[in-house]
Amino acid sequence: MGESGCGKSTLLRHLTGLKRPAAGDIFYHGINFWERSRKKRIQLMQQCGVLYQSGALWSSMTIGENVALPLQQFTSVSDELIKKIVDIKLALVGLKGFSNYLPSAISGGMRKRAGLARAIALDPEIVFFDEPSAGLDPISSRMLDDLILELRDSLGATIVIVTHELASIFAIADDSIFLDTETRTMLATGDPKVLAEKSDNSKVKQFLSRSSSVKE
C-alpha cells in the first residue's frame, strides 16, 4: 500500500515476472525466481494468477474464451472439461450464464470479475491484484472486496493486493507493506488496523487515518 508513485505496481511487475528487478531477489518456495530459466519462471507463474487493473480481457474473445485461455495454453485437458471448468469459475465470481458475452457487453465491475475468473482458472496458490477497485463505484468496490475474501477462503489461496484504497485495505488485509513515495523504500509492515493505531511513523499513520474505516 502507499500513495500514487511509490512503486506499488512496479513491485507487482517484479513479483509476477513482467520486469526484472534492478536489485534484490524474489523467492517462491525457496527458489530464486529471476535466477531460473524462462521455462522454469513460466512454470512457477502457473501457480499464480493475476487480475490486472483494467481486467485486461481480450476484446475480440468472449468471456468464456478469455477464462479458457490459460487452461488451453498450460494444460492438456479436453475441450469438454475446459468448458465445465470455465462455467464453474464464472459461477464462483457471480457470472453464471455470461460465458458467450463479449467484454464490451458487460459493465466494468463484471469485467473485473471476469478477469478474476481467468486469474483463478488454474487454481493458483497466489492471486495478485493490481488496484482491483480502480474505476469502480463504492458499491461495486465493496462487492469485489467481499468476493476476494470469499475466494481466499474457498480456494485457500494467498491474496496479494496493490492498492491505495483504504476501504479495501481495512476490509481485506491482515498484513501489509507501506511504500513511501519520497524515500522510495518500505516504511512499515504489519496489520493495517494495528498500524493505523500504533505506528510511530507519521507518514504511515497519516495515510491510514484518512478514513473512518480504521474503526472496526
Q: How far apart are CA 136 and CA 202, in angstroms?
A: 30
pLDDT, one tens digit per residue, over 93-137 is 889 999 999 999 998 888 888 999 999 999 999 999 988 887 777
Which are the contacts of 19, defined by CB distance < 8 A and separation ≥ 6?
A: 10, 13
pLDDT at 55 over 80: no
Mean pLDDT in residue range 152-168: 88
As for how many domains the chain has, the answer is 1
Q: How far apart are CA 143 and CA 71, in angstroms?
A: 27
Instruction: Say if CB 51 and CB 129 are below 8 A apart.
Output: yes
Which residues span the domain enclosing 88? 8-13+47-214
In a domain, 21, yes or no: no
Give pLDDT, residue 131. 85
pLDDT, one tens digit per residue, over 15-28 is 998 999 999 999 99
In a domain, 161, yes or no: yes
In a domain, 74, yes or no: yes
pLDDT at 59 over 70: yes
Q: How far apart are CA 97 and CA 86, in angstroms?
A: 11
Which are the contacts of 36, defined by CB distance < 8 A and separation ≥ 6?
A: 44
In a domain, 38, yes or no: no
In a domain, 167, yes or no: yes
In a domain, 69, yes or no: yes
In a domain, 32, yes or no: no
pLDDT at 213 over 50: no
Give pLDDT, residue 155. 85
Percentage of the chain exceeding pLDDT 70: 97
pLDDT at 205 over 70: yes
Instruction: Say if CB 6 and CB 184 are below 8 A apart.
Output: yes
pLDDT at 214 over 50: no
pLDDT at 212 over 70: no
DSSP letter for 210, please. S
Q: How far apart are CA 163 and CA 178, in angstroms?
A: 10
CATH code (residue 207): 3.40.50.300
Q: How far apart are CA 82 and CA 67, in angstroms?
A: 9
In a domain, 78, yes or no: yes
How many CB atoms are closer than 10 A to CB 59?
A: 8
Question: Model's pTM, two decimal places?
Answer: 0.84
pLDDT, one tens digit per residue, over 162-202 is 988 888 899 899 999 999 988 888 899 999 999 998 888 88
Instruction: Say if CB 13 and CB 160 are below 8 A apart.
Output: no
